[in-house]
Each structure stands twice: as structure tokens, then as C-alpha cells.
Amino acid sequence: MRMYDLIEKKKLGHPLTAQEIDWMVQGFTAGEIPDYQMSAFLMAVCFQGMNLQETTAMTLSMAHSGEMSDLSAIHGVKVDKHSTGGVGDKTTLIAAPMAAACGIPVAKMSGRGLGFTGGTVDKLESIPGYQTALDREEFFSIVNEIGISLIGQSGALAAADKKIYALRDVTATVDSLPLIASSIMSKKIAAGADAILLDVKTGSGAFMKTVEDSVALAQTMVGIGEQAGRRTVALITDMNTPLGDTAGNAIEVVEAIQTLRGKGPQDLTELCIHLAGNMLYLAGKGTLKDCLADAKRSIADGSAYETFCRMVQRQGGDLSYVQEPSKFPTAPAFAVLAPQDGYLAAMQTEEIGAVAGMLGAGREKKEDSIDPAAGIRFVKKTGAQVQRGEVIAQLYTHREEKVAEATERYLAALSWSNQPPKPSRLILARVTAEGVERQQMQEGK
Ligand code: URA
């Protein structure tokens, strides 16, 4: 086989066989295929796409290019949860302890933020002492002991994805549906859970900007998961507005703690009930309705918060920060004022994520360090009526020299209207192997 021929075949829009894809992925991982040929292939995929068979073959080959995690030492049905990435998305910190409090084991490996999106591992590391790098035995024994462990993703999982993602990042080939689907699902399959819940974000702060593209991505990922023998469900959720009231690291951990204590913002709380409820459903804990009720109860009765506390303590974190969140450091605050009277009609959420990055909450390159105290508090979000001069956000940063530019960029990301905008739905669809449900699914509606 020659890589040249495979690039040519894809360039002309012909499907590749599973053997050809596997030869290419394994050859690239082993360093036998150079970056420039792989880059040309990836660009051809951006233009010509891949069908479900090709995407599945690519996913499985990438999953097997590194360590395949075996979670059989953990008792019970293991359900993984994955978000395609957004701004203010701290749901793992809340939904995972909720699901664990309802009796399912949660052995979750999470990633760091990159670009405008945040990452669970960076957030957890703002708790002093919390260990995100544990060896397998310790990870398994914590899950068996207290029902949950949240750690960083092992670099050995899906080795091909690591190399391919790094190339995509610098060759403008990230936003291709089959490449995103195979990247995410290769890591999920290698991570070893029995079932997978996907939170596919849609809108201005997501990789997929339209609901239809997000549904198509979700259908592809659900199809791959099911073909690999893992029950998979995807929720399509709104990312036209940041999730919750904060974006950053320590500031998001504080918001997660408040949500676990029943005092979180409505959108975040509601989404976490749906995520934890669907995790329970995938684990076979009952009907979706019962699972949603159980998830909700885990906040009301304090069991989800208790589970989070036990996990933090067991993983070396200083519990006093969780008990007294005012101990978390905050950077100096700079208020953003409304430039006019009116309704906040829309937020360019990707831009807002980029502002959080400028303030020090994110990194541009993987090796950059982050400032856990930096971030944004959204005092007013889409739909709010404000008066000129009112505080609409607080920017927290130690980079005072960036504040003027960050404020300008924040304001430029907002649109205003004299009329209230049409309220948007938080959960737009649920995709399973059986099909796409688009009914109104919010609590109480
Ligand atoms: N997250 C991933 O892991 N891979 C992608 O390609 C996009 C989002």
C-alpha cells in the first residue's frame, strides 16, 4: 500500500477500506507516514468526508493504536460522559458525583482545556492538593471504595488521536464531522466504559454551530459507539450562551460546589439533572423518568455533595476549600458595564471563551500554564434587560494590561435589541440508536 494512493483516492471522493484506514493510522502512529502526507489526507477528508463505515474503521483503529483500558476490576456498569466542549461547562464536576451518589460507579478520565474551551482537569487542579494523575490500581480502588474518581486522561490512550489532533490543530482541519467523531469516540472506546453519554454542544460556543450539524455528529458518534458494543446516547445542548454564571477554573469549581449544594444557576442544574439521569438510564437503573427523579433527589438530599467531598478528600484535595469556597483565590475584578439600555439579545460564546483565555483562564498552546484565579462572572446573560451603565460581567485577572482589550472584545461579542429575544431551549434533542427525539424535554415542561 502507498499513502500517496490513499490520499488520491480520498481526494477523488472514493471510500477507503477498513484495511487501508488501519494501515494508514498504524503507520502514522509508528512514524512511518510523514506529517505532510497525513495533513494532505486530513484536508481531503475535510472536503470529501467519510461514510459511517470509514469513520467507524478510523475510530477503532485509533482506539487500538494505544492502551485499551480494562475497567473490569471495577464492579458494576461503567458509564462514561463526554462533552464536545464549551464555555462554562463544569457539568462533569456535578453530574458525575450525582450519578455516583445514585449508585453507579464513575471512573472518569477527563481532559484539559484548549483554545476557547475549558477542561475538567484544569478546574479540579484549582483545589489545592487534588491529584489528577493516579496509577490504575489507585484509580480503581477509589472507584470501588467511594463510587467515583475523576482523573486526567492517560496519554497512552488512543495514541493516534494525540498525533492526528496535534496536526489538525495547525492545519485548519479540526472542524470536520468524521474527524471530530473518530477523535472523540476513539478515546471513549479506549477508556473502557460499558456505556457512553455524549453532551454534544451546539451554537456559537461549540464546534458545531447548527443543531442539524450537531445532530449529524451525534448520530455518527452514537452509531460508532453502538457498533463497538457500547450503549451510547447523546444530548444536543445549547451553547449559544455560556453555561451557568461563570467561566474559568477556581470560579467554576465554586459554582459546581454551589450547584451540588442546591444553590446553582437554573440552566446548569437542569442540564446536570439530565446528564446524570441519562447516565443512570444507560446503567440500567430504571426508566428515564425515574432516573431523572433520582438524579434530582441526589442534590436535594445532599448525597451528591457528600460524594464530591469524599472524592476530593480521597484524592488528596484540601476539603476545607470545598466546605468554605471563599478560600479559593480570586484575581482582581474589573466590571464590564452595559453600553446601552435594552435586552441582551445574543452572546458570541466562542469569543467569550477566548476572552476568558486572554484573562489567564485558558492556554493557547498545550504547554502554557493557566491562572486558576482568572475568569469571568456573567452577571447578565442572553435575555436579560439592562440599563446603560449596569454591571453585566466581572472580569477576574492578574493581567491588568489586558483588561481594556478584553473588555472591548467582550462587548463586541454581545448583541442588543429593544425586544426580548426568543427564549432558547437548553436541551434540543436526544439521540439514541433508535432515532432522534426532539420533543421539549426540560423539567416541568
Ligand atoms: N474534542 C476532541 O477530542 N476531538 C475533536 O476533534 C474535537 C473535540
Whole-number pLDDT of residue 114: 66
How does the average pLDDT of the chain come out, rounded? 94
- Identify whether 238 is a catalytic site residue: no
330-417 architecture in CATH?
Alpha-Beta Complex (3.90)
- In CATH terms, the superfamily for domain 3-63 is Transferase, Pyrimidine Nucleoside Phosphorylase; Chain C (1.20.970.10)
Where exactly does CATH 3.40.1030.10 map onto the chain?
A: 79-324+426-437
User: 208 in ligand 1 pocket by Cβ < 6 Å?
Assistant: no
Going by alpha carbons, the residue nearest to atom 5 of ligand 1 is 180
Whole-number pLDDT of residue 174: 87
Q: How confident is the model at residue 364 (pLDDT cuts 50, 70, 90)?
A: confident
State yes or no: pLDDT of 445 exceeds 60: no
State yes or no: pLDDT of 298 exceeds 50: yes
State yes or no: pLDDT of 207 exceeds 90: no
For residue range 241-282, list pLDDT tens digits in order. Answer: 999 999 999 999 999 999 999 999 999 999 999 999 999 999
Whole-number pLDDT of residue 402: 97
Where exactly does CATH 3.90.1170.30 map onto the chain?
A: 330-417
Q: How confident is the model at residue 58 (pLDDT cuts 50, 70, 90)?
A: very high
User: 164 in ligand 1 pocket by Cβ < 6 Å?
Assistant: no
Where exactly does CATH 1.20.970.10 map onto the chain?
A: 3-63
For the segment 391-398, the average pLDDT, to the nearest whole number, is 98
User: 180 in ligand 1 pocket by Cβ < 6 Å?
Assistant: yes
Phi, psi (5° rounding) for residue 47? Answer: -85, -40
Going by alpha carbons, the residue nearest to atom 6 of ligand 1 is 180
Q: How confident is the model at residue 405 (pLDDT cuts 50, 70, 90)?
A: very high
State yes or no: pLDDT of 444 exceeds 70: no
Going by alpha carbons, the residue nearest to atom 2 of ligand 1 is 184
Is the whole model's pTM more than 0.85, yes or no?
yes
Q: How confident is the model at residue 166 (pLDDT cuts 50, 70, 90)?
A: confident
Q: How confident is the model at residue 443 (pLDDT cuts 50, 70, 90)?
A: very low
Q: Which of 39, 126, 154, 183 is catalytic?
A: 183
User: 214 in ligand 1 pocket by Cβ < 6 Å?
Assistant: no
For residue range 135-162, list pLDDT tens digits in order. Answer: 999 999 999 999 999 999 877 899 999 9
User: 84 in ligand 1 pocket by Cβ < 6 Å?
Assistant: yes
The CATH number corresponding to 79-324+426-437 among 3.40.50.2300, 3.30.300.280, 3.40.50.720, 3.40.1030.10 equals: 3.40.1030.10
Whole-number pLDDT of residue 442: 45
Q: How confident is the model at residue 287 (pLDDT cuts 50, 70, 90)?
A: very high
